[in-house]
Structure 1
């Protein structure tokens, strides 16, 4: 077993290669993240942080370089195996919650567990425990439209952690919230991450939030630097 949950090495990614509008998004990016470590990925919009997160989370592939999760090289896995790893080992959080509108908060957290083979009873019990941990168990039966923005995002956090992943990747998880709500929701996220001991990479342009994480890295001109 590797000492690191996530290891990306020498990643490169270019869009429209060889064309006049070619964009070199990543140029030799490497990053290691240990279990229990929360890393802030700081970069302005358009700098490539979403691309890096998508490659690290097996949603996209690099032109060159490797991605290892828990010591296993994911770079050459089949699409089917990559999907299985994403479902069981990687949790994603985005700026917008992307909850299923026709299902309740509880059901949104139960569904990914059912897809991963957990029984309905166990999935509901685990979902309620997660909602309780972020302080909105009383809202379990409400659909997303009946929840506030902060509540919606807390449900999204719980959904991302429903299958107890080893790695959490978050792309501006509080970027769509007002400052007060953002602070409260970020505190809930950090509490969840600390309780579970998973490795996390959280992209943000909010330097105050970044300072509350274990360390910061900055994506600048396609190169990753210590912030």
Structure 2
């Protein structure tokens, strides 16, 4: 079995094709993420990191290039197959938590598991274990509005991990938090990732956070470079 969880090869993406305002966002990006590796994707706003993450997570398709997750090439597969792989193998975390406000923390984590056919009892047991691992099991019954920003984002991390994905994709996951809370929440994320042994690609413009990851890649002018 290959140790490469994510492989992007020659990824190109442009918007407004053939028009005077055509924008070439990705010009030929190559990237691999190995099993258990946490990679920082360092780029300023508008550089295309969100586009790259969406392609890596099968939410968008490249104009050219290949996308492999766990050894399966997926850029040309049917929407149904791409959705199956995305639900089973990929977890997403965004800058804003996007929790469902009418549900408790535990229910937010259980819902994606229930959608995958897990029993309610098993889903809640895993949800509680994940909340405990990031230090907020005592907030399981609280709705998002009753929680701090840092607590909400930790719930979002747990939700992303709910279905035991092989790959975690995070887009500025602490960008909406103050520095102290960001540091604490990022520490919780790294603990969660390392304890579960999954791979992660985390986009950030925070160089201090990037330095705490295993490796850095930088994006500029539509290309990726190491370090």
Same fold, judged at TM 0.5 (above) = yes
Q: Which residue of 2 aligns with 1:171?
A: 171
Q: Which residue of 2 aligns with 1:63?
A: 63
Within the alignment, does 1:125 sit opposite 2:158 as a pair?
Answer: no
Deviation at 1:127, TM superposition (A): 0.2
- Per-residue deviation, residues 45-83 of structure 1 (Å, max 9, x unmatched): 000000000000000000000000010001111101111
The gaps in structure 2 that reach 5 residues or longer are none
Q: Distance in 2 between matches of 1:59 and 1:75?
A: 10
Any idea what SS the aligned residue of 1:5 has? Answer: strand
Within the alignment, does 1:160 sit opposite 2:152 as a pair?
Answer: no
- Please give the root-mean-square deviation of Cα atoms over the aligned residues, in Å: 0.5
Deviation at 1:176, TM superposition (A): 0.1
Q: Distance in 2 between matches of 1:190 and 1:49?
A: 20
Deviation at 1:128, TM superposition (A): 0.2
Deviation at 1:3, TM superposition (A): 2.4
Within the alignment, does 1:139 sit opposite 2:139 as a pair?
Answer: yes
- Per-residue deviation, residues 189-227 of structure 1 (Å, max 9, x unmatched): 000000011110000000000000001000110000112
- Per-residue deviation, residues 106-156 of structure 1 (Å, max 9, x unmatched): 000000000011110000000000000000000000000000000000000
Moved over 4 A (4+): none
Q: Distance in 1 between matches of 2:200 and 2:30?
A: 15
The gaps in structure 1 that reach 5 residues or longer are none
**TM-score normalised by the chain length of structure 2:** 0.99
Deviation at 1:2, TM superposition (A): 2.3
Aligned positions, number: 227
Q: Which residue of 1 aligns with 2:183?
A: 183
